[in-house]
Structure formats: structure tokens, C-alpha cells
Amino acid sequence: MIESTFCLLPGVGRTTERRLWRGGITTWAEFLAASSIRGISAGRKALYDGAISQAHVHYTQDDARYFGVVIPQREQWRLYEWLRNRAVYLDIETDSFGQITVVGCYGHGRVTSFVRGETLAQQHLVDELSQYDLLVTFCGTRFDVPMLLAHYPSLFLDQPHIDLCCVGRQLGYGGGLKAIETQLGIVREPDVHGLNGHDAVLLWNRWRHRRDAQARERLLGYNEADCVNLERIADVFYCEMVRQLPVNASGNPGKVDSLWPAPDIRSGISQL
């Protein structure tokens, strides 16, 4: 998908990009090989050639952070297939005063929980998050990331960021994270099934004031489910976004058939 992305070029949005695809220019290589492109002046073509060549250099150098700058936020879902193995799925919990209580990170096949009063500290977050080249959240642009930066001003989150809430809205999914999980057939473990953000606050209070170890474990289990399920949702959303792209004679610019061989993409998310 990344090498079929032209919205990193100045002045190029979805309309122009799709016109290029329909005209047979579906990859960076095809754009550079064309001596001229209808609707693009020679001067602008030369400018775009330079920008695409630069993007290709950063891509071959595995410089994910470059694309977090040049690709608009709403289009950064396109980086998912490339960076999936280097992604961290993040979710935070807060108390009734808006203070962070838990930061959960799922990446490289493991969950790491940072708990207030224990391991939750700026340097620990820096050490953990700096390992990853892609950040995936649900409503993170409006909640998780601003909250983290307000509490830890020196925390530098420069990775590309996929906010699955925004991607879901583009696909027509309504409701919050739990509602989308239900729509996709994702079922949580019985111990945390049905819990919500308000319950997370109550569980924290039981741990903080009564040292209820069971409440602490349920809170961490709830946060872990939030993080782990983001990967499953991201798998589905990426497939659906790619398959909504226009198809031309050479196929879909971001074809995913080799990744999801099952006819039903939801049954194929484990194939990634």
C-alpha cells in the first residue's frame, strides 16, 4: 500500500490520487517511469518525481517516522501492513480526577502494564515506546496521546499513529471500542466481559483504597483486552480500507488477497 500512496505529495489528495490509479499510475515506480502525466504540468511532475524519490529512499531505509510527517493523519492506516510487526497497541486508564492509573502496551507479542505508584514513570514509558515504529490506539488522537503528553511533557511520540476510531468512522462503524468488537465478533474473557471505563475507575479505587488485589488484576486484565483487541480490529480495518479503494485493470493498488486468503476477511485476520 505504501508504494501506491501519492497523498504524501504536496497538493495531492484522495481525488487526485484515485485519478492517478484509474489512469494506470498505481505505484511510485510507474509514476517515475512516465514521461508525462495528464493533468500534471512538467514542472510539477519534476517536483513530484523528487518527492517520490526521497520517499523511496526513506522507505528502503525503514524510516517509518518520515512517513508519519509527510502522510496526513487520516491516511496513516496505509502504513499498517508495512509496520505491523513493529507496532505498539496502546491504551490508558484514568481515575475520576483525570489522572493516569494504567498505561497498557501490547507489542512484539507481549503486554506491558505500567501502574501508577509502581512502574508508571516517564523514563519507563520512553524506554518501552521508543522500541516501536507505529502507534495504534482507539481515540488516541483525542484522549490517550494528549493525556500522556500532559502528564509526561518530555515523552516524545514521533511514530506514525493510526487512530482506529477515525478509521472506523471512515468505514461506517459507529460506537466505541466495545461496540465495534461486538460488530466484529470479538468476545472478551468472562472476567472482563462487560466492563467499561467507569468500571475501570471503580476497580482502581478498590485497589488504591482497600488494596484489593483482585480488583487490580481485573483492571489490568480489562486494560490488556483493550490493547490486544486493537490488533484484531486493525487487521480487519486495514483489509476493509484497502478493499474500498478503486480497482483498475492491474488490480487493487493495495491488494491484500495474499495476506487474507479467506473470502471473509474477518475469518482471515489470523493469517497476517
pLDDT digits (tens, 9 = 90+) for 143-162: 999 999 999 999 999 999 99
Q: Is 104:112 a contact under the CB 8 Å cutoff?
A: yes
93: helix, strand or coil: strand
**The domain at 82-234 falls in which architecture?**
2-Layer Sandwich (3.30)
Task: Give the start-to-end residue ranges of the domains of the chain.
Answer: 1-61, 82-234
Residue 103's DSSP bridge partners are 92, 114
CATH topology assigned to domain 1-61: DNA polymerase; domain 1 (1.10.150)
Task: Report d(CA 14, CA 6) in Å as an integer.
Answer: 9
Residue 115's DSSP bridge partners are 102
Task: Report d(CA 120, CA 140) in Å as an integer.
Answer: 18
Q: What pLDDT is recorded for position 246?
A: 76
Q: What pTM did the predictor assign? A: 0.91
Residue 40's DSSP bridge partners are 37
**Residue numbers of the chain with a pLDDT score lower than 70:** 247-272
Q: What pLDDT is recorded for position 250?
A: 44
Residue 119's DSSP bridge partners are none
